[in-house]
Structure 1
């Protein structure tokens, strides 16, 4: 029984080799032989190319997600300027409008920040819930400002980039220290 299995396996291997030879001669690929086994250069090249494509797809997915988030942030900022009273354009936007926008985003935050009048002020894990508001985390705002700064430059707007102003950096820095103290992080 084992001789029959071995003969069938040899027939399959011979059939595969002959089909590979006819395929390689028609595609004019070169084959290199080593002492242990032979490796088709075209197969190596195809595998290498496939791996490169997969790496590029992975990096483009990451790049694509960043680009999508940057576009979403830019659209949100433009909507904010349009709903401003009176409505503003990007060219009319100043540092004061950027700071106003960052304060506006606080109402959509998901991080509990204790007021200095709260009995749990400065505690990392309060024992019970309190009525302190949820605010936008300073790290999220910092990343948002970075994406908007890049989006402003990419769109070729003339003038000083209001997202890169020192006042915005100072605001984020003060927000960071305030939130750290309120949450009891040293």
Structure 2
């Protein structure tokens, strides 16, 4: 490393020209890709759907459409491996998007919607219907794969008052 480069680093300078924007974080890049993918999905609908016409039903259709690209084996009720986390042999059950991937995707799209001028009150990604859908996907995948999902229990927080008495409270 040359002395000039070391000096630039020490002074906080960068070799990037001032006119060049800072590179996007991994999250921001993914959010932009997701937003563009969703926009393309709406354009490909017959008839095309504008963002202002988009509602929770379009979001649900998009999530179901994405299942065809999933990599998570989700056993059907009639499958002999239903409920087994590590089945001993392959089966014909479908691959779907994992719940965690869908949940993260919805979080990014919800943020992108508002960053692109959408109102929080009309955000289709924040709809109660979408939250219910994601909860159902999580529960059904957990059962199908034999992975119990347990809601985290609230921890008790001990809180001693100035007089030394216990003022325990539930925290979330």
TM-score by length of 2: 0.72
Q: Distance in 1 between matches of 2:132 and 2:10?
A: 49
The answer as to 2:142 corresponding to 1:180 is: yes
Q: Does 1:69 align with 2:30?
A: yes
Specify the structure having the higher radius of gyration (Cα): 1
Q: What is the SS of the residue equivalent to 1:114?
A: coil
Residue 67 of structure 1, CA deviation: 1.1
Listed as ranges, the gaps of 5+ residues in structure 1 are 1-42, 54-59
Report deviation, 1:48.
5.8
User: Mean Cα displacement is larger for which, 154-163 or 122-131?
Assistant: 154-163
1:125–1:154 CA distance, 2 compared to 1 (3 A): same
Tell me if 1:171 matches 2:99.
no
Distance 1:46 1:81 in 2: 47
- CA RMSD, aligned part only? 2.0
Distance 1:46 1:105, change over 3 A: closer
Secondary structure, in 3 states, of the residue corresponding to 2:86?
coil
Between the aligned partners of 1:92 and 1:116, the Cα distance in structure 2 is 37
Residue number in structure 2 paired with 1:148:
109
CA distance in 2 between partners of 1:183 and 1:66 (Å): 29
Deviation at 1:64, TM superposition (A): 1.8
Q: Which residue of 2 aligns with 1:82?
A: 43
What is the number of residues matched between the two proteins? 135
Structure 2: gaps (5+ residues): 1-5, 15-21, 149-172
Larger helix share, 1 or 2: 1
Tell me how far 1:47 sits from its aligned partner.
Answer: 7.1
The CA deviation at 1:157 is 2.4
